[in-house]
Amino acid sequence: SAAEKGGYQHFMAKEIMEQPKAVRDTISPRIQDGKIVLDKITLTAEQIKRFKKIYIVACGSAYHVGMIAKYVFEKFARIPVEVDVASEFRYRQPIMDDKVLVLVISQSGETADTLAALREAKNLGVRTLSIVNVVGSSIANDSDDVIYTWAGPEIAVATTKAYSTQLAVVYLLAIYFADKLGTITAEEYSSYISQLQSLPDKISEILANKEQIQYLASQFFNAKDVFFIGRNLDYAMSLEGSLKLKEISYIHSEAYAAGELKHGTISLVEDGTLVIALATQDALFDKMISNMKEVKARGAVVLGLTTKQNKKIEQVADYALYVPELCEMMLPSLAVVPLQLFAYYVASMKGCDIDKPRNLAKSVTVE
């Protein structure tokens, strides 16, 4: 009913708008006196020090969170990370021993493939930790430790606030590990914590500008194909941006590592093809500018997304979207919001059944 949707037309819109609160509810109970406190988990500093590898296992958008988490854990905690979709992981006999941690990410806590992968790890006596939204779900119950996302119930099939809170837990956990491992300085530790605490306000700032994204959606809702490109964290972001768009608007979209375009996918770019170029990482900004020029030379219309200081993106991009400044590792938490809104408005302009897209389920409990 309209009341359940809090005055919004769709649950997805309501859930997008709830993100500042969901992220705050997830972060704030875990930060006390400037320190990350994860007192519900049994994992000790000694155990964390023994991990030589982390396997992150999930499906769908939760897998995309895992793709970001790889960069974050490797950068902050210096532990090698492998990310896999659960339906692949469970059948590939991954090398697992007491030096690995299996980190499982799931909104529902009931996804069949993810649950099976978790059980497989447990059978081998491997340490497991899960990031779950639904309290008391199977994955939460079966993991050695669980850290809950406090997103509240998510109704729309396309995940938004669960994704954002999963990402927030990834940051909490990676900074927590880094502190125990001594891979970041005390100054970095406090700086990361305060930047994490600034997330809800910065997300609100982006949401306050949603009309701009609505306008962009009005320019592109008839698109046949959309390509999302980025490098490193922005590539991981591209995967989620592309999935959001295709799942609710039925527009064909692909995410590509920007440097890989030239090995095939650029052949699909023609006059007027929309390319959404994510360029939030400073060290890769110039590389992204080159990729934008490459696709423009083939007729693409480029929508560039970067941080506020990088106004020079407008020299190449036809349209530009900006997110507030923040430490680079955490920028996905901001950059995902315009991508969610873009998908939402495009689907809405096409008259799609946004909360219940065809052929999709909120939770996939069969293989």
Shortest distance in whole angstroms from residue 327 CB to ligand G6P: 26
Taking CB under 6 A as the rule, does residue 114 contact ligand G6P? Answer: yes
Q: Is 53 in the site for ligand G6P (CB under 6 A)?
A: no
Residue 296 bears catalytic tag: no
Stretch 201-260 residues interacting with ligand G6P (CB under 6 A) = none
Q: Which of 19, 87, 111, 128 binds ligand G6P (CB under 6 A)?
A: 111
Question: Considering only residues 16, 17, 51, 60, which one is a binding residue for ligand G6P as defined by CB under 6 A?
Answer: 60
Q: At its nearest, how many Å lie between ligand G6P and the CB of residue 107?
A: 3
Name the DSSP class of 107.
S
348 contributes a contact to ligand G6P by CB under 6 A: no
Closest distance to ligand G6P from the beta carbon of 209 (Å)? 25
Cα–Cα dist 219/366, whole Å? 39
| Residue 87 within binding range of ligand G6P, rule CB under 6 A | no
Residue 264 host element (H or E): none
Cα–Cα distance measured from residue 92 to residue 89, given in angstroms and rounded to the nearest whole number: 5
Binders of ligand G6P in range 149-208 (CB under 6 A): 157, 159
Residue 107 or 281: the one with the smaller Cβ distance to ligand G6P is 107
Counting contacts by CB under 6 A, is residue 116 touching ligand G6P? no
Q: Which residue is nearest to ligand G6P (CB)?
A: 60
Angle at CA 338, nearest 5°, toward 213 and 255?
110
> Residue 119's closest CA among 92, 98, 138?
138
Side chain identity, residue 222: N
Among 108, 149, 242, 280, binds ligand G6P (CB under 6 A): 108
Q: How far is CA 273 from the centre of its chain?
A: 25
Q: Which tokens is 310 given?
A: 């990088």
User: Three-state SS for 278?
Assistant: strand
Minimum Å gap between C-beta 246 and ligand G6P is 12
Residue 118 CB, shortest distance to ligand G6P, in Å, is 11
228: alpha, beta or left? (left if phi > 0; alpha if psi -120 to 50): beta
Cβ atoms of 59 and 87 within 8 Å: the answer is yes
How far is residue 48 from each of residues 81, 99, 280, measured CA to CA in Å?
A: 14, 9, 31
Q: CA gyration radius for the chain?
A: 20
| Active site residues per annotation | 362
Binding residues (CB under 6 A) for ligand G6P: these are 59-62, 106-108, 111, 114, 157, 159, 360, 362-364
